[in-house]
C-alpha cells in the first residue's frame, strides 16, 4: 500500500523557518518525481515545488523561489521542503504528492503568525 506521511508543520513567526518531511512507503521512491502542493485555509490547491527522481532537477513556483528548497533522500525514502523567510501568506496545509499525482499525503499544517 502506497503511503505518504508528512510531518514538521507547526506555528512559526514571520521570517522564521521550518523543514517539512514526507516519509513514503509502498513504492520505489527513487524512481518517482515528487511534489509539494499547498492549500491555504478555505482556498484552492497551488503547486509549490517538484523534484526529479535522483534530485538533480528541481522546480519552484515563483512565490517561493529563493525561500524554499526541495530535496530528497532516496536511501531514507523521504522528501523534504526547507522553508525559510516564511510569510503570513505561506500559511497552508502542505501536501506531499507522488509524481503522477495519484497519491497524496494527509498534509501538514504550517501557520505563520506572530
Partner 1 sequence: DVVMTQSPLSLPVTLGQPASISCRSSQGLVYSDGNTYLHWFQQRPGQSPRRLIYKVSNRDSGVPDRFSGSGSGTDFTLKISRVEAEDVGIYYCMQGTHWPFTFGPGTRVEI
Binding residues (CB under 8 A) for partner 1: these are 35, 44-47, 50, 59, 61-62, 95, 100-102, 104-107
CB of 85 to partner 1, least distance (A): 20
Compute CA 52 distance to the chain's CA centroid, rounded to the nearest angstrom.
14
CB of 40 to partner 1, least distance (A): 13
Query: Looking at beta carbons only, is 45 or 88 nearer to partner 1?
Result: 45
Q: Which residue has the cell 527522481?
A: 53
Query: Looking at beta carbons only, is 27 or 104 nearer to partner 1?
Result: 104
CB of 93 to partner 1, least distance (A): 9
Amino acid at each position: 500500500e502506497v503511503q505518504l506521511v508528512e510531518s514538521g508543520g507547526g506555528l512559526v513567526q514571520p521570517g522564521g523557518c521550518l523543514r517539512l518531511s514526507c516519509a513514503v512507503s509502498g513504492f520505489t521512491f527513487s524512481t518517482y518525481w515528487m511534489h509539494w502542493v499547498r492549500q491555504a485555509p478555505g482556498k484552492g490547491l497551488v503547486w509549490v515545488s517538484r523534484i526529479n527522481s535522483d534530485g538533480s532537477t528541481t522546480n519552484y513556483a515563483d512565490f517561493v523561489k529563493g525561500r524554499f528548497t526541495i530535496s530528497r533522500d532516496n536511501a531514507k525514502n523521504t522528501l523534504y521542503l526547507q522553508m525559510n523567510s516564511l510569510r503570513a501568506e505561506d500559511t497552508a496545509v502542505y501536501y506531499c504528492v507522488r509524481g503522477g499525482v495519484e497519491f497524496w499525503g494527509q498534509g501538514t499544517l504550517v501557520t505563520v503568525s506572530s
